[in-house]
Amino acid sequence: MSAYAPLSTSPREAVGPHYSLDALRDAQALSWRALERIAEQVRPGMRESEAVAIGHAALEELGMEKSWHPVLVRFGENTLKIFSDRSEGDAVLGENDIYFIDMGPVFLGHEGDVGATFAVGSDPEMQACARDVKVLFDRVQAIWGQGEVTGSALYARAEEEARALGWVLNLDIRGHRVGDYPHSVHKGGNLGDFDHLPGKGLWILEMQIRHPTRSFGAFHEDLLA
């Protein structure tokens, strides 16, 4: 039996028989540890493919069981790409640049999914973008934490908050389900299309922003828990 009962009765919040909120949180913690190990090793002059290889090694060292979505590392203009896009070439990280890491490993039979952005060098707008995407995430997470807001309303608020910070929110990225592997059998769909109060430990909140005139952006995601 599941150790957690969703807040709504929507089939989009269904979980498998082995689901555990504690295990999902532990999977997230291990995923964050792997992401931090990658970020510690990324340097200007490195190619995206080299950073991805570092990611695979970090996940294996931490005991990843499988990957439910591949490790993605986006440098420079590729930070404008969404998950389903291919990077333009094997980009090299510049001296003054921005990048994000996105990974979806399985630990303890549960799906981790984490993403974060970093800036290198001294470009003030890139530094601000990397900082503000986490600020935006925290603001939207706090709105969810107050309750009484649907997934669709949450992303409407996110767009307003992003604009207030001076960035453009990419609404092609609107969050998604996770759970005990594989969550996909439940067909959860996008969080931004969910017309109920999202339950804890079931949804990944994703924020992707871009500069209004320059060709770069930032990404952050974590579990609503």
State the CATH number of the domain containing residue 119. Answer: 3.90.230.10
| pLDDT for 183 | 85
Pairing mode, strands 168-169 and 114-120: unpaired
Measured between its terminal Cα atoms, the distance across the chain in Å is: 20
Whether 70 is in a domain gets the answer yes
| Whole-structure pTM value | 0.94
Confirm if 55 and 48 have CB atoms less than 8 A apart. Answer: no
- Tally the domains of the chain: 1
**Averaged pLDDT, 30-35:** 98
In 3-state terms, what secondary structure has residue 207? strand
| pLDDT for 8 | 55
In 3-state terms, what secondary structure has residue 43? coil
Whether 43 is in a domain gets the answer yes
| pLDDT for 99 | 98
Confirm if 53 and 90 have CB atoms less than 8 A apart. Answer: no
